[in-house]
Amino acid sequence: MKRGLRIVGVLFASVVVLSAIVTVGFLSGWHIKKHTPEELAPLLKPHFRIKRPLDGGPFPTVVGFHGCYGVHKRVRDWADYLVELGYATIMVDSYTGRGFTPDDVEDVCAGRKFWGSERAGDVLVSLNEIRKLSFVDKNQLVLIGWSHGAWTIMDLLALDPPSNLPTNLSRSPDQPLAGVKAVILFYPYCEFPAKARRRGWTHDIKVLLLIAGRDSIVSSEACLEIVSILESKGQPITVHVYPSVDHAWDLREEDLKGSQLLRSRDATCDAKRRIMRFLIEALHPP
């Protein structure tokens, strides 16, 4: 009897250890195909959505990463606004080059695939390609992200490449975050398995975080916990909570597709003013 119990105990312990190894491996992206930057670039660069002022240049450039439902008109509206302020904009489409179907998109939105730690490789590779463009001021770069895209940017900062790589990259481009002076984040996903939820990040890049106080999709409280970590480290982060709005409050009405989420023109107008001031302070300090 005792021998049988010992065998059962050993088997149980083995299952626990194996489960732990599999879990750690999954979180580390062992199951994800690794690409070099040169291999990943052709999936992204042909689908850059580029807008820029008509005259002059090189321009400070804002590089954008859409939410889980792709490049909405909302993203293009923000690009138009930023161009009016004198910035070039490049919105990165992470889906088209990969041939994502509506089912793939639903899996992304449900958290079953393409986590922020994987998509973070898109940010690094896109930055590497964008610095080569003649109209881009490669020393004046801004990252902007919505929801899944904001999670992606936060994971990238937390990973701190090349110390730790996004799970879809076999190596980092040279000088991975060179020229990035500011980050703008709209209602990011901050819960498990977001990389920043335990340690934040150490980059001295200025960050503006815009949170929905009544977010029914992601946890605003989890994001504020990350903010507390960053503030305790003295990291430069500016936070504004819109207390009465829900997730994706800057969507156009036609993008809502029957959702109960409510668009807020007041919050969108306020965000425009905050972003304008933030970019002036980050890129053109007195």
What is the per-residue pLDDT across 9-34, written as a single tens digit (0 to 9) for each? 555 444 443 333 333 343 445 569 99
pTM for the whole structure = 0.89
pLDDT of res. 18: 35
Higher pLDDT, 250 or 239: 239
* Banded pLDDT at 6 (limits 50, 70, 90): low
Q: Does 158 have pLDDT greater than 50?
A: yes
What is the per-residue pLDDT across 195-229, written as a single tens digit (0 to 9) for each? 999 889 999 999 999 999 999 999 999 999 999 99
Q: Summarize the confidence of residues 105-129 as an average pLDDT.
A: 97
Its sign, for the CA torsion 233, 190, 257, 50, is positive
Q: Summarize the confidence of residues 101-110 as an average pLDDT.
A: 96
Q: Does 44 have pLDDT greater than 90?
A: yes
CA distances from 131 to 48, 66, 106, 118, 232 (A): 13, 20, 32, 22, 33
**170: DSSP letter:** S
pLDDT of res. 74: 85
Asked whether 260 and 274 are in contact (CB, 8 A), the reply is no
Q: Does 106 have pLDDT greater than 80?
A: yes
Q: How far apart (Å, rounded) are the C-alpha atoms in residues 75 and 69?
A: 11
Q: Does 132 have pLDDT greater than 70?
A: yes
Q: How far apart (Å, rounded) are the C-alpha atoms in residues 19 and 4?
A: 22
Q: Residue 212: which of 269, 149, 263, 278 has the closest Cα? A: 263
Question: What stretches of 34-179 adopt beta strand conformation (E)?
Answer: 49-51, 59-65, 88-92, 136-146
pLDDT of res. 14: 43
pLDDT of res. 5: 55
Q: How far apart (Å, rounded) are the C-alpha atoms in residues 128 and 116?
A: 19
Mean pLDDT score of the chain:
89
* Banded pLDDT at 107 (limits 50, 70, 90): very high
